[in-house]
Structure 1
Amino acid sequence: MSGGKQSLPSSPMCPLRRCLFCLAFLTLISFTCFSLKSPYFPPFLAYSSASSSSIPRAQVSSEKLGGAEPSLEEKPEAEERLSDIYHSPQVFGLNYAEMETKFKVYIYSDGDPNTFYHTPRKLTGKYASEGYFFQNIRESGFLTDDPDQAHLFFIPISCHKMRGKGTSYENMTIIVQNYVESLIAKYPYWNRTLGADHFFVTCHDVGVRATEGLPLLVKNSIRVVCSPSYDVGFIPHKDVALPQVLQPFALPAGGNDVKNRTTLGFWAGHRNSKIRVILAQVWENDTDLYILNNRINRAIGNLLYQKKFYGTKFCICPGGSQVNSARIADSIHYGCIPVILSNYYDLPFNDVLDWKKFAVILKENDVYQLKQILKDIPYQQFLALHRNLVKVQKHFQWNSPPIKYDAFHMVMYDLWLRHHVIKY
């Protein structure tokens, strides 16, 4: 009995020690298995290393996982394509797929289709993006005839078409105001959100001004515009930057052709803004930067302006009368890295695309150091920018009918993101 009494104080501790030991051992085993086999760990490593480390993605996976994870060449093509140019590749892929299957838009049928409503006057020229969107949305699967099933409502009024018919700015403002007020009076949908689930599309800057007669349209509705600068009241979290694309392109897209790009920088255009005047004055006679105070004269040769993009590393894109310019989409199409030289420009698809992966973003004051800034970019960084530039070309191309990931679908994706913040 005395021996039993001596052993009692130590007996409760034994099971506790055994439990703690087993718990520690199981934790170690679980952590090891997770690190070696988990399907979620490698992508996180890969995306982190792509943005913050110089170690190649495949090398990280191999070293960390002992060869258990597929190499870079074995990974799905879509995953690798999305990994370089988007802020959140996986989120974009999932949200885009959801948009394609669920997003529905209702178009008001009111208005005169022979004058100012529906498809604009043409699908060519520097304001073609507006016309393409009007045509594409009718060719797409996003439309619904049931307004109660719609996520957003499209106000189909084309200021570009009005301008083509010679309508004055003053009359445009009155027409837009009367048209929207008639929709408000006839339908209950605007009043549910004061227009927050409505949107209109305009590429010409006159279209932005023509809506000023109805403050609620500017303040509440989603404006899809080619002039996304803050001096026209652009609200980044609400409005959408419409890419200004000059189509059809005169020449094929540029690709893996960096060896042919011997000119450091190129710009040719009109001095219709302060930054363009300074650009021409400072660099017009430089030997490394090809800067012209006008478009290249067609009399000198056919398509010389477009061909110059093929032989240049960096194409300068200063803002004109507005911050937007079709030159940005031209640069992307022809494989010339765009140099955005503008203040307060909310670039198209900026909340989706990581522009710093395929463009050089500068402030206007950087124009005086422009040559040195471009020369200081390492060659390997230039190659990376060019590779990524080729990957984003599909996002700055309009098609009829529209195709997956093109400019139309990217605009619709931005609208899909905006609709999530609208509650009623």
Structure 2
Amino acid sequence: MSLGKQSQPHSQSSSPMLFSLQGSLLTLAIFTLLSFIYFSLNSVHFSSSPTIHISADTNEQFSDIYHSPEVFRLNFAEMEAKFKVYIYPDGDPKTYYQTPRKLTGKYASEGYFFQNIRESRFRTDDPDQAHLFFIPISCHKMRGKNTTYDEMTVIVRDYVESLIFKYPYWNRTLGADHFFVTCHDVGVRATEGFPLLVKNSIRVVCSPSYDVGFIPHKDVALPQVLQPFALPAGGNDVENRTTLGFWAGHRNSKIRVILARVWENDTELYILNNRINRAEGNLLYQKKFYNTKFCICPGGSQVNSARITDSIHYGCIPVILSNYYDLPFNDILDWRKFAVILTEKDVYNLKQSLKDIPYSEFLTLHKNLVKVQQHFQWNSPPVKYDAFHMVMYDLWLRHHVIKY
């Protein structure tokens, strides 16, 4: 009897403990289920985020042309959503601040950028929202007025110093969040006499050479594009490409002189020591890109050459023949996946180097080349993933290193 009386209260006290344990397990189960649903929905949302539609290919097929395709996709989307640039409104419109005088020829990239930045979503009229500040110096426009380089330097210096005096933004970072854009050698020569601008601000230039003070982690290599292109883009046309290699141009650099001297009489490489005479036929130079596998791109008076973007447009694999060239979008694109990179000393073994490339590798290079064509095309208004957006992305990457 005494044992029975003791067991009854023990049974009553264990029931609340049991219910408490069951409640905890039920709570844990509900929490686990809700967590699963949450992360599943997040996963669906992530996978449905915008993807890069370079072509009809899948991600696996085009990802090789980027160093980090997923990082590029995510960062590009963030840039589109957040990036803001303030354009200084001051200055003599006859000298700068307006779009350069034409959007053609070797200065086309500069002109298109000036026009594109004003048409784009990235522009803000509120400097307090800006990540970067654009100094709209068109040295090309000054050149069109027969202004000397010394006179240009004075104009640029006076203009930038007036911005420093009038606005508080330069002094916050000593110009590290400011940038200017110039193509070919005009803007480089006009600004090199103003070290405060060259050393502190971001230079977006077509001449990314060490001998003009180019700093890869600070400055941006601007692709030099001769638009409009005379003929349509080259595509899936490898069967028509029967010439091994091609170059024609002025011998205005040591490497070009050597290239012409060593290979101008070769039967497999079509090398001319001057430009193709237009009198021989219409657009013969451009048409030669269509039937050539590899187009040789040696540096000229500067390390850069518009021949590289011509090669990309016409589907001829560019052969970069340079000891140093910080190639456009080099931190985004893996150039070795769609181009051949050689040093100047390789010129003596050029033909064998090209012949040693297996046909299967040539096909892969050509396929990848077609995928990057849109990155080297300017449009008005700008189009997603075109040259303008790639330059803006490079600027977006650089603004992250600036701290107030």
TM interval, shorter chain, is 0.7 to 0.9
Q: Does structure 1 residue 312 correspond to structure 2 residue 314? A: no
Query: Per the alignment, in what secondary structure is the counterpart of residue 290 of structure 1?
Result: strand
* Selected match of 1:97 from 52, 65, 77: 77
Cα distance, 1:116 vs structure 2:
2.6
Q: State how far apart, in whole Å, the 2-side matches of 1:393 and 1:274 are.
A: 30
Query: What whole-Å deviation, never above 9, does each CA across 1:192-229 have from its counterpart, x for those lacking one?
Result: 00000000000021211211232121111000000001
Q: Which residue of 2 aligns with 1:243?
A: 223
Give the conservation status (yes or no) of the 8 Å contact 2:245–2:292: yes
Gaps of 5+ in 1: 1-37, 39-75
Q: Which residue of 1 aligns with 2:168?
A: 188
Q: State how far apart, in whole Å, the 2-side matches of 1:273 and 1:372 are.
A: 23
* Selected match of 1:277 from 257, 271, 278: 257
Query: What whole-Å deviation, never above 9, does each CA across 1:253-309 have from its counterpart, x for those lacking one?
Result: 000000000000000000000000000000000000000011111100000000000
Q: Which is further off, 112-121 or 312-321?
A: 112-121
Query: Per the alignment, in what secondary structure is the counterpart of residue 280 of structure 2?
Result: coil
Query: Per the alignment, in what secondary structure is the counterpart of residue 332 of structure 1?
Result: helix
Query: What whole-Å deviation, never above 9, does each CA across 1:116-150 have from its counterpart, x for those lacking one?
Result: 33211100001110000000001110001110100
Query: Per the alignment, in what secondary structure is the counterpart of residue 338 of structure 1?
Result: strand
Q: Which residue of 2 aligns with 1:198?
A: 178
Same amino acid, percent of matched pairs: 88
Give the conservation status (yes or no) of the 8 Å contact 1:160–1:204: no
* Counterpart mapping for 1:170-185 below 5 A: 170-185=150-165
Q: Which residue of 2 aligns with 1:234?
A: 214
Q: State how far apart, in whole Å, the 2-side matches of 1:83 and 1:312 are.
A: 26
Give the conservation status (yes or no) of the 8 Å contact 2:116–2:382: yes
Q: Which residue of 2 aligns with 1:152?
A: 132
* Selected match of 1:373 from 338, 343, 353: 353
Max Rg structure: 2
Give the conservation status (yes or no) of the 8 Å contact 1:81–1:391: no
Give the conservation status (yes or no) of the 8 Å contact 1:310–1:336: yes
Cα distance, 1:112 vs structure 2:
1.4
Q: State how far apart, in whole Å, the 2-side matches of 1:319 and 1:164 are.
A: 25
* Counterpart mapping for 1:23-422 below 5 A: 77=57, 79-80=59-60, 82-422=62-402
Q: State how far apart, in whole Å, the 2-side matches of 1:373 and 1:355 are.
A: 17
Count of aligned residue pairs for this structure pair: 350
* Aligned-partner residue type, residue 303 of structure 1: L
1:358–1:219 Cα change, 3 Å: same
Give the conservation status (yes or no) of the 8 Å contact 2:243–2:270: yes
Cα distance, 1:79 vs structure 2:
2.0
Gaps of 5+ in 2: 1-39, 41-55
Query: Per the alignment, in what secondary structure is the counterpart of residue 127 of structure 1?
Result: helix
Q: Which residue of 2 aligns with 1:35?
A: none
Q: Which residue of 2 aligns with 1:41?
A: none
* Aligned-partner residue type, residue 339 of structure 2: A
- Using the size of structure 2 for normalisation, the TM-score is 0.85
